[in-house]
Structure 1
Amino acid sequence: MNRNRKYLPIMLASSLVLWPIHTTYADDDEYEEHDYEEHEEYEYEDDDEWDENQEAVQPIIEETWYSWSRSSAVALANEPLPFMKQQEVKLQTPHETAISIDVIPYQGQLLVPLQETVQYLGAEVYEYKKSKAIEVVDGDIHLIFKEGSRAVYENMAKTPMPTAALKFNGRVYVPVSVIGGALGWDVSWSNQTMVMKKRGSMNG
């Protein structure tokens, strides 16, 4: 009995020393687990909020019927069209007599007959029926359109168009914004006429 009592203080002292250590570990584990869960939940909430904010502040690219942004972005803001049904429209440049062309409103764009329009603007046109491609050459500007394709090769660089080249009644139609933008013409609408002026020139 005396021998057991002799070791009792040592056992008690050991217990007192070890007890706070175990308590600290238990508290740390509980804190770390709780802290991790809160941190993880906070991160996920932050990520979701960040993604929503990214979508909310995604820049809207102006893609109008008369101006070509050359962007493939999905979020586009379309300018209201001057008319909504296919019809004949006068096309006018400052130094040429106006001509009548058939214009098709389509997906926020005004589609004009490619060959007829670029020839009126003084460019050369070459058609390749087997490959369904049309080549436009105007000085150092070189364009290749393909029926049904939403891409145009602009000086050999593949560039997106706002709509695909559309074939209708044997003619290929493309957005007038693309023709104007690529060949250096500003396009506007005045008195039921599509007016095209050479960019940077007061008189066209």
Structure 2
Amino acid sequence: MKSKITKWMLAFFMLFFIFQTGTIANADDDDEGVRYERHEHEDEDREYEEDDDEGYYEENTTNYGDGTMYESTPVQSTFWNLWTREISSTTSNTELPFQEAKEVSIELNNTSESFFMIPQNGQLLVPGEKVAKFLGAKSRYYQQSKILELSKGTEELIVRAGTNAAYENMVKTPMPTQSFYYERSVYLPISVISNALGYRVNWDAAKLAIILQEI
């Protein structure tokens, strides 16, 4: 009788040990899966073509990356020729040098070229690739994601059509208005592309032209 009890006790302890070992192994596997999943999400967050770019910088709010929108103090006035890199509530074109979309000359170092410009929300939007070429910068456009990459020297600017978020040297930064795709070009504020690549923007009323100066 005692031998039977001993055998049953040994069998019980062996089953208990096997069960506990399997549970620990499963727990380790779960932890490993969580770590991989977290790293995968971290890698996705590093990509500038992420889906949450659209509407990232809404008026009067700031997204701190945890999915929560916090109220922020709006900038009451902006300048069409300065990229303040702050969230703006300005939606008026009254301070612009002209109010209608048209061809306007940009002058740099006594060289000038005409570009089609579109007034929008207090900003003058220009075709990114064409202006980049005029400035001696490199550009690359990705049709599927509607992303425009611009670079000159150590300066880099990445813009996605349909959003108001730009990546300046891989730092996510708000633009004063959304860029958009029009006539095979990504249009973005002239202040953004010029200031990002190292130029100051001024308006010459006598020449009816935009003058760029190296910063």
Q: CA separation in 1, counterparts of 2:92 and 2:144?
A: 36
Q: Is 1:113–1:172's contact at 8 Å kept on the other side of the alignment? A: yes
Q: Taking every aligned residue pair, what percent have the same amino acid on both sides?
A: 38
Larger Rg: 1
How many angstroms does 1:144 deviate by?
0.7
Give per-residue Cα distances to partners, 1:36-90, cap 9 Å, x unaligned: xxxxxxxxxxxxxxxxxxxxxx684542110010002546897711110001001
Q: CA separation in 2, counterparts of 1:171 and 1:59?
A: 30
Aligned residues: 141
Distance 1:180 1:170, change over 3 A: same
Larger helix percent: 1
Q: Which amino acid aligns with 2:208?
A: Q
Question: What does 1:45-194 correspond to in 2, within 5 Å?
Answer: 60=75, 62-74=77-89, 80-95=95-110, 97-190=111-204, 191-194=207-210
Q: CA separation in 2, counterparts of 1:171 and 1:64?
A: 24
Q: CA separation in 1, counterparts of 2:76 and 2:212?
A: 23
Q: Structure 1: 5+ residue runs without aligned partners?
A: 1-57, 200-204
Runs of 4+ in 1 over 3 A off after TM superposition: 58-62, 73-79
How many angstroms does 1:117 deviate by?
0.5
Secondary structure, counterpart of 1:98 in structure 2: strand
Q: Which amino acid aligns with 1:152?
A: A
Q: CA separation in 1, counterparts of 2:118 and 2:90?
A: 23
- 1:196 is aligned to 2:212: yes
Secondary structure, counterpart of 1:188 in structure 2: strand
Could you say what the CA RMSD is over the residues aligned between the two structures, in angstroms? 2.0
Q: Is 1:63–1:76's contact at 8 Å kept on the other side of the alignment? A: no
Q: CA separation in 1, counterparts of 2:126 and 2:182?
A: 11
Q: Which amino acid aligns with 1:104?
A: I
Q: CA separation in 1, counterparts of 2:179 and 2:114?
A: 20
Q: CA separation in 2, counterparts of 1:78 and 1:67?
A: 15
Question: What does 1:18-57 correspond to in 2, within 5 Å?
Answer: none
Secondary structure, counterpart of 1:179 in structure 2: helix
TM-score (structure 1 length as normaliser): 0.64
Q: CA separation in 2, counterparts of 1:116 and 1:138?
A: 14
Q: CA separation in 2, counterparts of 1:163 and 1:195?
A: 22
How many angstroms does 1:167 deviate by?
1.4
Q: Which amino acid aligns with 2:170?
A: M
Secondary structure, counterpart of 1:67 in structure 2: coil
Secondary structure, counterpart of 1:180 in structure 2: helix
Q: Structure 2: 5+ residue runs without aligned partners?
A: 1-72
How many angstroms does 1:170 deviate by?
2.0
TM-score (structure 2 length as normaliser): 0.61
